Amino acid sequence: MAVGTHREFKDRLYRQFARIGKALSSPHRLEILELLAQGARTVDSLATEIGLSLANTSQHLQALRQAALVDSRKEGLFVSYRLSDPTVFDLCTAIRTVAERQLADLERLVREHFGDRSDAEPVEMDELLKRARSNDVVVLDTRPPSEYAAGHIAGALSVPVGDLQRRLRELPKGKDYVAYCRGPYCVYADRAVEILRSHGRRARRLREGFPDWRAAGLPVETGGSSGARGL
């Protein structure tokens, strides 16, 4: 193989790899990918969630689409977006893991926002799977109903954190509860644990979120039913 030909190949090769890095260089795009890891979303829904205009949100989605990180599908009058492949979430997880291990600024930011989270006693996924199968715990999905319907931990109850106060009567005090949400930096589960504990329930949060659970190949369900079943 000619040296010049191989050099040209390597340049073109890494240029393709760099397309992915360029698409991920925006914090808004990383947040969009996290939201799409919960399930398909419309442009309007994403724009509302991340506080951007429809035009700016569309531009970010087009950049992600050009890098083949998301797909779109027209459903009636709306266009919905979703992750193009499960490995896209794996990539986001890798970015998060490297940042957690290497960036001291990230650790300070999380501590300033959440405070000391050690009191929440996060539950690992394998521990939750074992306890749920033995009917030793009630699992609460604290995300919005649309995300629960798109996919949730098998047997989990849909109790969006905004509805938790008024639905406390449905949750007996004699049970153990584990709340989960979108990921380790989603506030829904932490808030749910705080509310449950302040009303006499034993509660902890899952360390990871639903996409991590699904990526690990653990039992999931789809649909809007909130009835609890065993894993």
Is pLDDT above 70 for 226?
Answer: no
Report how far residue 198's alpha carbon sits from residue 218's, in angstroms, rounded to the nearest whole number.
31
84 and 129 fall within a common domain: no
Stretch 61-82: mean pLDDT: 94
Structure confidence at residue 77 (pLDDT): 84
- Decide if 98 is inside a domain: no
Q: Are 148 and 76 members of one domain?
A: no
Question: Residue 12 maps to which CATH number?
Answer: 1.10.10.10
Whole-number pLDDT of residue 136: 84
The pLDDT value given to residue 120? 62
Region for residue 103 given its phi and psi (left: phi exceeds 0; alpha: psi -120 to 50; beta: otherwise)? beta
- Tell me the mean pLDDT in the region 96-111: 94
Question: Which residue range(s) make up the domain with 157?
Answer: 116-221
- Residue 146 falls within a domain, yes or no? yes
Summarize pLDDT for 207-224 with one digit per residue, the tens. Answer: 999 999 999 999 999 997
- For the chain, the domain total comes to 2
Contact 216, 90 (CB under 8 A): no
> In the annotation, is 92 catalytic?
no
The CATH number that applies at residue 201 is: 3.40.250.10
Together in a domain, 59 and 134: no
Among 69, 88, 107, the domain boundary falls at 88
Q: Are 77 and 145 part of one and the same domain?
A: no
The pLDDT score that the predictor gives to residue 227 is: 46
| Active-site pick, 36, 179, 181, 196 | 181
Asked, for residue 191, whether it belongs to a domain, the answer is: yes
Residues 76, 122, single domain; the answer is: no
Mean pLDDT of 123-152: 94
Q: Looking at the structure, do residues 142 and 213 belong to the same domain, yes or no?
A: yes
Give per-residue pLDDT as tens, 19-62.
999 999 999 999 999 999 999 999 999 999 999 999 999 999 99
